[in-house]
Structure 1
Amino acid sequence: MPGPKLDPVESNTELPKHVDVVIVGGGVAGVCTALELVERGKTVAICEKGQIGAEQSSRNWGWVRLTHRDPREMPLMVESVRLWKDIDRRTGQQTGYSQCGVTYTVASEAALEAERHAADALQSYQIPARILSREEAMESFPGLSLDIKGALYNPHDGRAEPQKAAPAIARAVQNMGGSVHQNCAVRTVETKGGKVSAVVTERGTISCEAVLVAGGVWSRLFLGNLGIDLPQLRTKGNVLRTEPVPDGPEGTVKHPEFAMRKREDGGYTIASATPSRYQLTPDSFRLFAKFLPTLKNEWRSVSLGLGSAFFEALRTPRHWKATDVTPFEKTRVLDPEPDTALIDKAFDVVKSSYAPFKDAKIAQRWAGYMDVMPDVVPVISPTEGVKNGVPGLYVCSGFSGHGFGLGTGAGRLAADLITGQGPCVDPSPFRLHRFSDGAKIAPMENIIQR
């Protein structure tokens, strides 16, 4: 099933012989890192096995939110929002970013009390989030009839267009002298004198001083071939978009059964708040102990399944040489089937409870895979300090469904680490070696139940 239609990016025709940094992966984190680097005078090549932004970077909700963030990533998210506000000016492109505000509705008094704590946490960052009564929440959405107790409203939350953002930033990188190479998988990283010296792609070798692995759900497989363990699993998200809806709301809303935001084309992106059934893979068993703390928190909402994903993973090689055709060349774009019943159920709730959507039509459904870490916090880090890590090799992955909004800040932090500049935020929560240095690995405590 074809995924969402992306804005086009024209690949550079010639593979460079040498650059300062090669970015492995053309999602939002990869292209934002490339933008930061070229602005600092570095030569950069983005190598993408498929199309820029074609996997989760274009398949997400399009939210840029500060609300309900893990405290460990909150400083980075504050920086990310600051960067999103300026991204169109910096790039000369249109990403669709708007600080539209988001309303988070709740259906119980206990959930409303939890949102009060969330509002207090946001206000400690001088973010003017506030609690709304049911009547106040409904005023912003005329025609909406929901059984809710109230809502948290954050005017600093926003949205952008996932099908536009990564391609727009990639084109800006090209305009500033960087190069973009689509359908050009990186097979492996070469070292010399104990540090990164080159990457081998399916089209040839690029010598370089640094490599950033920003491959989304593919990062574990790529790094595993180098002997580096990234404890990463994947889970599926489902989204639909509607045809234009006359008199639809400008505001973005989250409900216990759905999430919804307006698109630039006049339609709406709608997602289910219920997760898909998690499909077990061999890595699910290899990483069970590392993910156990997360499972203890989330077990009530996790449904497990065993299907084709397990056997596809068994057939996928975990090791290869630079001369081999890799899994990245055999699967250019992951395009999973959406859970139609799940997403349509959420859409039915919208249609039955919101007058403007009574006759709304579905234009497209799609699904995408999110890369998940045991503590639900990304890795933005050098690989030095872990087994088989080498100077010059960096990781920016494992965003656990939070990556689109974090992409701009993650790109800045990754570029800071690569260039040796003072980091924009404390990088220690995102270090790769937290999984091997004895640190306590656990997801955010007091997860809000909505």
Structure 2
Amino acid sequence: MTPSKGASVVIVGGGVTGLSAGWQLARAGCDVVVVDKGVIGYEASSRNGGGASHYHSPLFAEEQRMWPLMDELLGYPTEYRRERVIVALTDAQLTHYHYMAAMFNELGYTAEHLDVKQALEMAPLVSDRILGGIHLKFGGQANPQRTVQAYGWAMQDHGGRLLQNAQVSGFEIAGGKVTAVVTSRGTLGCDALVIAAGPQTEGLAAQLGAFAPMAPARAEMIVTEPAPLMPIGGVDGNGLYGRQTLRGNLAYGGGPHEWIEVGEAGPSARPTTPLMRNLARRVAELLPKAEHLRVIRSWAGVIETTPDGRPILDRLKAPDNVVLASMSGVGFGLSPASGHAICDLVLEGRCTFTDIDKFGIDRFADLPADWRLSRGWTPVSGPV
């Protein structure tokens, strides 16, 4: 594309949230371009646990409706697999998981209790010392890297465009609207703007006079050598989230996250931290029959967290053609639904399928300026 040409809708941020929104807008007939400071999906979007079971979100029902359809809708594989197992290593965990199962069933989503024998049949690598667990017959997991590719390719199939390695530095405003996005590769004219730039969303929103507070954190994942495939690929427990890939690798994360500071260009380095050994130990405790496997890859990337942990999905009152989108660390699983919501906010001015008022930025109007300090969400070292 010619960068100066622009598009009807410019989306800043090429993670799954921005790409899903771009795909939804393109299939609705919009001229759309997704701009990213680097390569699409380079941060958390392509390197996470791949889970799709966010029952606490207003977007949950749409997430559950769409995921089983995504391979067909996108025309490319996401490797989505339905169902998930959560196992307990303590009495307190088992009590909590049984509470969760009751809540799921009340919502109309089937979750069954598992005794030790049943859990081991579904997830043979887990510890014999578990006390039981629950079987979610909904939700599931997908391959983050394949899903990022699928969104990007599907958007382009519908006429959408990608502009990578183009850092956004500012905006042009006229008549109470953003009329152009200034990037390192040229200026893009626009009729509407979506900012879905992860931790950079706060700074970009501030240029437009909007307060969208968030704290960047480094999150780590590890990947092991392949293990024999389990009947259920998504197995959580011991404070971990993750999945077994179709090749057999175990990909797991689960914090604790490290609070950091990042600049406009994102983190300059992704050093290995002591968390990798912490994760490896906990994976071995959860899946001891795989404890002999070597860790072959690790990833330290960046997520953003809002003060209350809930996403931001809002259309600004001024400039009134701007939508802010930050999923506060849970963007991958909710991406089919968040893309739908963002498309609605751009085209209709509101989400048409669920109430997302709690995701508005007005809820932060009285937040103290030192909110990160008061929570202890401060980095232990300088920018990375």
Q: One fold, TM greater than 0.5?
A: yes
SS in 1 for 2:150: helix
Q: What amino acid maps onto 2:316 in structure 1?
A: T
The answer to whether the 8 A contact 2:342-2:351 is kept is no
Q: CA deviation at 1:381?
A: 0.6
Aligned to 1:370: 303
Match of 2:48 among 60, 83, 86: 60
Aligned to 2:365: 436
The answer to whether the 8 A contact 1:106-1:256 is kept is yes
SS in 1 for 2:201: helix
Q: What amino acid maps onto 1:405 in structure 2?
A: G
Q: CA deviation at 1:395?
A: 0.4
Aligned to 1:403: 331
**More moved, 186-195 vs 210-219:** 186-195
Q: What amino acid maps onto 1:81 in structure 2?
A: Q
Q: CA deviation at 1:84?
A: 1.8
The yes-or-no answer on 1:343 pairing with 2:276 is yes
Aligned to 1:413: 341
The answer to whether the 8 A contact 2:214-2:305 is kept is yes
CA distance, structure 1, for counterparts of residue 362 and residue 35 of structure 2: 26
Q: CA deviation at 1:152?
A: 2.1
CA distance, structure 1, for counterparts of residue 33 and residue 303 of structure 2: 24
Q: CA deviation at 1:236?
A: 1.9
Aligned to 1:196: 178
CA distance, structure 2, for counterparts of residue 335 and residue 102 of structure 1: 34
Aligned to 1:82: 65
CA distance, structure 2, for counterparts of residue 124 and residue 376 of structure 1: 24
CA distance, structure 2, for counterparts of residue 212 and residue 37 of structure 1: 11
Question: Aligned runs of 1:382-401 on 2, under 5 Å?
Answer: 382-384=315-317, 389-397=318-326, 399-401=327-329
CA distance, structure 2, for counterparts of residue 352 and residue 192 of structure 1: 58
- For the structure 1 residues 354 and 41, does the alpha-carbon distance in structure 2 shift closer, same or farther, using more than 3 Å as the test? closer
1:20-67 CA deviation, whole Å, 9 max, x = no partner?
11000000000100111111111001111100100110121111114x
Q: CA deviation at 1:356?
A: 4.5
Q: What amino acid maps onto 2:16 in structure 1?
A: V
Question: What count of residue pairs does the alignment treat as equivalent?
Answer: 367
Q: CA deviation at 1:405?
A: 0.3
The yes-or-no answer on 1:180 pairing with 2:162 is yes
CA distance, structure 1, for counterparts of residue 124 and residue 181 of structure 2: 55
CA distance, structure 2, for counterparts of residue 113 and residue 88 of structure 1: 36
The answer to whether the 8 A contact 1:334-1:368 is kept is no
SS in 2 for 1:164: helix
Q: What amino acid maps onto 2:304 in structure 1?
A: D
Unaligned runs of 5+ in 1: 1-12, 280-308, 317-326, 439-450
Aligned to 1:49: 37
Q: CA deviation at 1:111?
A: 2.9
The answer to whether the 8 A contact 1:25-1:48 is kept is yes
CA distance, structure 2, for counterparts of residue 262 and residue 20 of structure 1: 40
The answer to whether the 8 A contact 1:55-1:334 is kept is no
The yes-or-no answer on 1:275 pairing with 2:208 is no
SS in 1 for 2:19: helix
SS in 1 for 2:180: strand
Q: TM-score, normalised by structure 2?
A: 0.88
The answer to whether the 8 A contact 1:351-1:360 is kept is no
RMSD value over aligned CA atoms? 2.3
SS in 1 for 2:5: coil
Aligned to 1:92: 75
Aligned to 2:9: 21
Task: Give the share of equivalent positions with the same residue, in percent.
Answer: 29
The answer to whether the 8 A contact 2:123-2:235 is kept is no
Question: Aligned runs of 1:242-391 on 2, under 5 Å?
Answer: 242-248=224-230, 250-271=232-253, 273-279=254-260, 309=261, 316=263, 327-328=264-265, 331=266, 335-339=269-273, 341-351=274-284, 354=287, 356-384=289-317, 389-391=318-320
Q: What amino acid maps onto 1:49 in structure 2?
A: K
CA distance, structure 2, for counterparts of residue 401 and residue 263 of structure 1: 21
The answer to whether the 8 A contact 1:161-1:264 is kept is no
- For the structure 1 residues 357 and 435, does the alpha-carbon distance in structure 2 shift closer, same or farther, using more than 3 Å as the test? same
Match of 1:166 among 145, 148, 164: 148
Q: CA deviation at 1:16?
A: 5.6
Q: CA deviation at 1:249?
A: 5.5
The answer to whether the 8 A contact 2:17-2:196 is kept is yes
- For the structure 1 residues 239 and 125, does the alpha-carbon distance in structure 2 shift closer, same or farther, using more than 3 Å as the test? same
CA distance, structure 2, for counterparts of residue 222 and residue 134 of structure 1: 50
The answer to whether the 8 A contact 1:248-1:356 is kept is no
Q: What amino acid maps onto 2:353 in structure 1?
A: C
1:193-244 CA deviation, whole Å, 9 max, x = no partner?
1122121222222221110000011111222233321111122211111222
Match of 2:88 among 89, 102, 106: 106
The answer to whether the 8 A contact 2:125-2:230 is kept is no
